[in-house]
Amino acid sequence: MSASPSPRRCLLAGAALALGLATAQTGAATDRKPQAAIGLAASTTGSVTAKRPRGAELLARLWPSYRDRFIRPDGRVVDNGNGNISHSEGQGYAMVLALAAHDRETFERIWKWTAKELGVRPDGLHAWRWQPDATPNVTDQNNASDGDLLMAWALGEAGLRWDEPAYTAAMRKLTAAIFKHNVTGSRIGPVLLPGANGFRPADQPDGPIVNLSYWIFPAIDRLQAMDTTQDWAALRRSGLALLRESRFGPLGLPSEWVSIGEKRAAFATNFERSFGYNAVRIPLYAAWSPRVASDHLRPYLTMWNAADNIGPFVIDIEDGKARETLDAPGYKMIFALAQCIAQNKAVSPDLVTRQNDLYYPATLGLLSLLAISERKPQCL
């Protein structure tokens, strides 16, 4: 991503426009079969008009370019800012975006490649890293729980939308594996470990170690409706509790990696203490879910000054100083989303449509657009 070091994992390496969450937000499970939350005409007001919403128009414009630049014909999603590798996160993101764009053919290609190339673990999870110039191509067989969570979300929605039982079955198999191998008990209830290996107390002196950007709250909201066999509500509660506990340093920001082994969240000993390329997704997921109070967005509202085009930045948590600028429009879209949800600020059309050259900010930009369209389309 840009000229920065790989934003992805330290230890792992060594939605519709409106995915329609507003039409099917979950609370307690009901006996009624959940409906596909992928209607592009869905809005937070519940009204549907004959005219296609602004968000749907924008996705229709932006999706073909994204697909052509980052998704190979065989369904492999290419991270061109990270050595052209592929990873489970990228495959999951692209499945969500293809679903939002009503592009079933691309969705199927992405899932087929993912299942074949990354579905090499015996436990039902997916290896996280695939490298085109390596033999074997999978260079790290650990899983990344956010990648698997994204895939489960997309598969569940696809099963409903296209009435495809195979996708629903794949979703349920994957969620069962996530809860068996990536969810562990803690003082605040079940928490999501970043991977099956490397983050437990046996692996880290201050374990368990978590990464708050792996709590994909809109996915948890929807999976609670689609798969009632798992305790999604408890997983949401632990994520929200950690968001409150993990306000570190003078700016009150979460660190990329957090230790929860003691009585209160703390910096993880063996990891960098920064708000960076992982943590930048925390406000994206918090703003996307109507079940996350807007108070959780407060630390992020001043991280980007749109009027003067200052920020956002990678931040040193301990002293609050900026390390580098997150220049690409896709990063700024996340903070525009937060300001839209918490402060009703309009989002510049130029920001929405400005091209991102690299996979990661391009993806974050489209996801932020989906979230705005879902939560507060009047900002567009």
Can you tell me the mean pLDDT for 320-337?
Answer: 97
Question: CA-to-CA distance for 332 and 254, rounded, in angstroms?
Answer: 18
Is 19 in contact with 100 (CB distance < 8 Å)?
yes
Per-residue pLDDT band for 52 (boundaries 50, 70, 90) equals low
Query: pLDDT at residue 317 above 80?
Result: yes
Q: Residue 77 forms beta bridges with which residues? A: 71
Please say if the pLDDT value at position 344 is more than 80: yes
124-159 pLDDT tens trace: 999 999 999 999 999 999 999 999 999 999 999 999
Q: Residue ranges per domain, the chain?
A: 15-25+32-180+216-227+275-379
Burial class (CB in 10 A: 0-12, 13-18, 19+), 57: middle
Q: How confident is the model at residue 33 (pLDDT cuts 50, 70, 90)?
A: low
Can you give the pLDDT at residue 56?
A: 85
- H/E stretch holding 104 reads helix 104-117
Predicted confidence band of residue 24 (pLDDT cuts 50, 70, 90) = very low
Predicted confidence band at 26 (pLDDT cuts at 50, 70, 90)?
very low
Cα–Cα distance, 37 to 290 (Å, whole number) = 14
283 has a pLDDT exceeding 70: yes
**Does 37 or 253 have the greater pLDDT score?**
253
> Is the pLDDT reported for residue 17 higher than 80?
no
Instruction: Supply the residues annotated as catalytic.
Output: 89, 146
**Rounded to whole angstroms, how far apart are CA atoms 21 and 38?**
8
Q: What's the pLDDT at 53? A: 78
For the chain, the average pLDDT equals 89
* Alpha-helix runs per DSSP H in 129-273: 145-161, 165-181, 217-226, 232-245
pLDDT at position 43 is 33
What's the farthest any 2 CA atoms get from each other in the chain? 58
Average pLDDT over residues 2-25: 38
Q: How far apart are the first and last CA of the chain?
A: 26
CATH T-level fold of 15-25+32-180+216-227+275-379: Glycosyltransferase (1.50.10)
> Whole-prediction pTM value?
0.90
Please answer whether residues 88 and 147 qualify as being in contact, where contact means their C-beta atoms are separated by less than 8 angstroms. yes
Answer yes or no: is pLDDT of 250 > 70: yes
